[in-house]
A and B are shown apart, each in its own frame.
Chain A
Amino acid sequence: MPGIWTRLKELIRRTRLDGELDEEVGLHLQMMEDEFRRNGMSEAEACAAARREFGGVTHAKEAYRDQRGFPWIESWAKDVRYALRGLGRSPGFTAAAVVSLALGIGANTAVFSIIDAILLRPLPYRDPGHLVRLFETESAPGQYPFAEPDYVDWRAQNRTFEDMTLYAWPHDMNLGAAGGRPEHAQALPTEANFFSLLGVAPLLGRTWATGEDQPGKDDVAILSYGFWRSHFSGDPAVVGKPIELDARKYTIVGVMPASFRFPVESQLWIPQVMDSKLFGGRGNHWASAIGRMKPGVSMKAALADLKVIAARLEKQYPNSNGKVGADAKSLRDDMVGDSSDTLFLILGAVGLVLLIAFANVANLLLSRALARQKEVAVRSALGASRLRLARQLLTESLLLSVAGGALGLLLAWGAISLFSTARSLDLPRFNAVELNGTVLAFTFALALLTGVVFGMFPALQMSRPDLLDELKGGAGSSVSPGRRRRFTSHALVVAEIALSLMLLVSAGLLLKDFAAVRSLDFGVRREGVWTAAVQLPDANYKSTQQQYEFSAALLERARRIGGVDSVALTDHLPLESGGNGYITLRGQTGVASNQLVESHAASPEYFRVMGIRVLQGRVFTPADIQAVLANDLRLNPIYASGTQPPADLLNGIVYPCVINESMARFFWPNQNPLGKMYSHGGESGPWEQVVGVVSDVRQWGLTVRPRPEAFNAFDGGHRLFLVLHTSLPPLSVTAQVRRALGQIDSTLPLYSVRTMDEVVAGQAEGQQHLSALVGSFAALAALLAAIGIYGVLAYAVKQRTREIGVRMSLGASRARMLGAMLWQGMRLALLGIAVGSAGAFAARRVIESRLHEVKPGDPLVFAATAGLLAGVALIACYLPARRAARLDPLVALRYE
């Protein structure tokens, strides 16, 4: 490629080469003159003859220079310079176009980076395509956690998996109070092969060694990156140091990198002791599991294999495994979950914003092109080719889109850093959201596409101007532009308004639904209810008696706090899930139905604290607690030794229980449930006897209907929630409860301190952020649409200035002019609103799955958003209309 090299040199040494060309041509002419003079011409004649023979000197030089270097680059550079000058001359237009594009491209880039992290990039584990999440299934709720012995059988009997690994729920543990206030941390217990199965390496130290999930060897811990930084100041020599968890000494063996999050963010990992005796057999479902399929095994084959095992277990253990099946799902699908729906909803919203931004820019370019018709006509008459003119317009729009894209990237960068620090949307975070090559390519492509599409659009319209009309001077200023072009620009505005209304309606529906969900009556009062959690470590609170004494002491001291009118303990807060199982009614055999019954423990005042109404019978009394404690003190040592109590002992035990209305209605319809008995343990008891019926509470979330639920009298446990009702400010209660707890056991942290309002807010958080996000996109869309309609009307006022002058001098009042101009703009706005309403109504299914309490066709939301948008449009129209009404007729008439 010698040509390119020569050309580059030519480009760089342009001035010197110009000089050389002059010299060369000069010499040529000189030689010609010499020749002519030798042939007898005078000096003047020779000079003239030489020039004649040579042809046009300038023309030759010009033709020479045109060929030199990279002609297309130079002419393009000329286009760019020209476009920059042109854009600089109309800063308002340039700013509006660039900002519109930046908002559109920036928002889309930010959303795309989230989509890239969750949907496009693979899971950050070794060979993630072979990883599957495993589930047992129950008849009622479908996918269900594992019973540990079942898992052990699956792992041993399967033929399709390389390996399986088990992990538990994140576990709250007390950190030793090294001098300061005691703290708690979330630890995830995992089987020893957990990290090696995922194929992730530690940042420091090592992951589990084989056998560390066996009793006695499990006193090791791995820290998360965040925990390592916050609690050990990122000490590089942390491996080998001790850490106290739940009053037990652990040795730190490793630190995981910041990028590792699975399945949720936990602060540290501890081994899950794989000892079936600890977990109450096959009826106790609590564990999660993942597996790595052997190479070449399909999901279908793996699932079939697991179903065979489940069927075998069903036959072997009909009592516990009668309803238990197998299910599996690719780990990716499991982790992405339904977030792809959320993402596509957001992408749709942000895509609409982009469309509106596009329409805006198209309209701006069109108005600008109309205003420049004469210039284009002149250039065209001077011989500029259509291609050249089109290229000029294209250059301008590409410059705009590149500037918009660059600014948009900046906005996106801000949005992304906001997203990665804030806990906003309820989305999985296995991959970091970042501006990587894919995202940059997306932005670049978007900007380029914008530039080309919107450059072509006016370029095509403008590159065939009617030369004569345009050049006929004055005609251009008073005659309105072509009907077709005006139609295009009006159609764009109508589309903008329609699209932004669709977004506003969606946002309105989500916001209304969010408000409705937040204020939903879920069966518990919010005002003045304060909650906190306490965890009793096994090391110091192993026995039932110890646990009871602690809970009694805590209740006693909390009750003494002034301003507190009721105090209770429970094992699960409302809305935040719980435990469940099947029941057998007294006098019947087998489980009563496929209906699971929620079971919770609560101390006597729980119902008073929470404002749960007693509908029938009574709630617990202190005497109930004593009776329950007496039974537990007899039974628990037997269970702890790994044996079953004798049948006659179990059959003789009767616990009092309080049930909710749903349970009463489901199991004893049209009967008095008081005094009825049932059992969680089959026909042999121990028995639960209904002493009272209370109103329903939503235990599994704000939008999940209440299920049959039974309360037992709470006589203590490892994990407890203290709840109380007070007229005091929550903060002062916290300080006093913390002091009371410290007096009982100074090593125990009080954590997860929240008012009931905060518990509710935590539930609706994902929905809150989603509606806020769609809401801000809708606001952005409305703003862009307002700019759009403003631009079109302002342009129309300018075009019609002389007409307005004529009408006003013929006696039209200012009010009339104002009305006429307003109507011109509002006509478009109203049409857009009508089209948008129809569109939103037609597309209401899209948003339906996101709504819980509000119908997708909610007329109030439609009316309110239409009104809002009409108001915004009116303001946007008023500004140019007022300018029209304030025109001085004399000035307007002379306007050119």
Chain B
Amino acid sequence: MSTREIKTDILQGTLDLMVLRTLATMGAQHGFGLAQRIQQISGGMLDLNQGTLYPALLRLEHRGWIRSRWGISENNRRAKFYEITAAGRRQVEKESEDWARTVAIMDRFERLTETE
């Protein structure tokens, strides 16, 4: 089996971090662009239902981590652009640390099973 066929379901809560991180590094994006970027970054390994992006965007907006405005897309169409806010950037830092810690902990357990 090639690795391309193994697609991972998005872990609960991780989509928010992906969106925030993408917006933080790539700047303002519309929904389609954002979905594209996330797919690209994951190397196509994510099974992302692009529709689920919209409730997630609304959630982040409610929390004040991103904001949206209407603009013109690259092919001259009205589109809604999302960008990260200052609060969103702080959140990214915080969540990244949490995530790194979780990964480190899980990593230790993984190594444990490998050596035993």
Interface of B is mostly: helix
Residue interface bits A6-21, CB-to-B below 8 A is 1, else 0 = 1100000000000011
Residues of A within 8 A of B80 (CB): 20, 24
Task: Assess whether B49 is interfacial by the CB under 8 Å rule.
Answer: yes
Would B52 and A55 count as touching, CB distance under 8 A? yes
A69 to chain B, nearest CB (A): 10
Which range contains the number of A residues in contact with the other chain?
A: 20 to 34
Residues of A within 8 A of B49 (CB): 53-56, 60
Interface size on B, residues (CB 8 A): 22
Stretch at the interface among A27-35, A450-458, A602-610: A27-35
- Give the contacts of B56-81 with A (CB-CB under 8 A): 58-59, 61-64, 73, 75, 77-80
B45 to chain A, nearest CB (A): 15
Would B64 and A25 count as touching, CB distance under 8 A? no
Task: Assess whether B17 is interfacial by the CB under 8 Å rule.
Answer: no
Q: How far is the CA of A56 from the CA of B49 in the complex (A)?
A: 8
Q: How far is the CA of A59 from the CA of B55 in the complex (A)?
A: 10
Residues of B within 8 A of A61 (CB): 54
Would A32 and B32 count as touching, CB distance under 8 A? yes
Would B54 and A24 count as touching, CB distance under 8 A? yes
Task: Assess whether A76 is interfacial by the CB under 8 Å rule.
Answer: no
Would A6 and B62 count as touching, CB distance under 8 A? yes
Residues of A within 8 A of B50 (CB): 28, 32, 53-55
Residues of A within 8 A of B54 (CB): 21, 24-25, 60-61, 63-64
Task: Assess whether B38 is interfacial by the CB under 8 Å rule.
Answer: no
B1 to chain A, nearest CB (A): 22
Task: Assess whether B89 is interfacial by the CB under 8 Å rule.
Answer: no
Task: Assess whether A91 is interfacial by the CB under 8 Å rule.
Answer: no
Task: Assess whether A67 is interfacial by the CB under 8 Å rule.
Answer: yes
Would B61 and A31 count as touching, CB distance under 8 A? no
A6 to chain B, nearest CB (A): 6
B60 to chain A, nearest CB (A): 11
Residues of B within 8 A of A57 (CB): 51
Task: Assess whether A74 is interfacial by the CB under 8 Å rule.
Answer: no
Task: Assess whether A2 is interfacial by the CB under 8 Å rule.
Answer: yes
Residues of A within 8 A of B61 (CB): 6
Q: How far is the CA of A61 from the CA of B30 in the complex (A)?
A: 17
Task: Assess whether A466 is interfacial by the CB under 8 Å rule.
Answer: no
Contact of B55 among A23, A34, A60 (CB under 8 A): A60
B76 to chain A, nearest CB (A): 12
B31 to chain A, nearest CB (A): 5
Task: Assess whether A216 is interfacial by the CB under 8 Å rule.
Answer: no
Would B52 and A60 count as touching, CB distance under 8 A? yes
Q: How far is the CA of A27 from the CA of B73 in the complex (A)?
A: 10
A644 to chain B, nearest CB (A): 97
Task: Assess whether B35 is interfacial by the CB under 8 Å rule.
Answer: yes
Q: How far is the CA of A549 from the CA of B54 in the complex (A)?
A: 107
Say yes or no: A28-B52 contact (C-beta < 8 A), given A3-B64, A7-B62, A67-B58.
Answer: no
Residues of B within 8 A of A618 (CB): none
B80 to chain A, nearest CB (A): 5
Would B52 and A63 count as touching, CB distance under 8 A? yes
Task: Assess whether A282 is interfacial by the CB under 8 Å rule.
Answer: no
Residues of A within 8 A of B30 (CB): 27-28
Chain A residues at the B interface, C-beta cutoff of 8 Å: 2-3, 6-7, 20-21, 23-25, 27-28, 30-32, 34, 53-57, 59-61, 63-64, 66-68
Closest 5 CB pairs of A and B: A60-B51, A55-B49, A55-B51, A31-B32, A63-B55
15 contacts between A and B (CB under 8 A): A3-B64, A23-B78, A24-B31, A25-B54, A27-B31, A27-B73, A27-B78, A28-B30, A32-B32, A54-B51, A55-B49, A55-B51, A60-B49, A63-B54, A67-B58
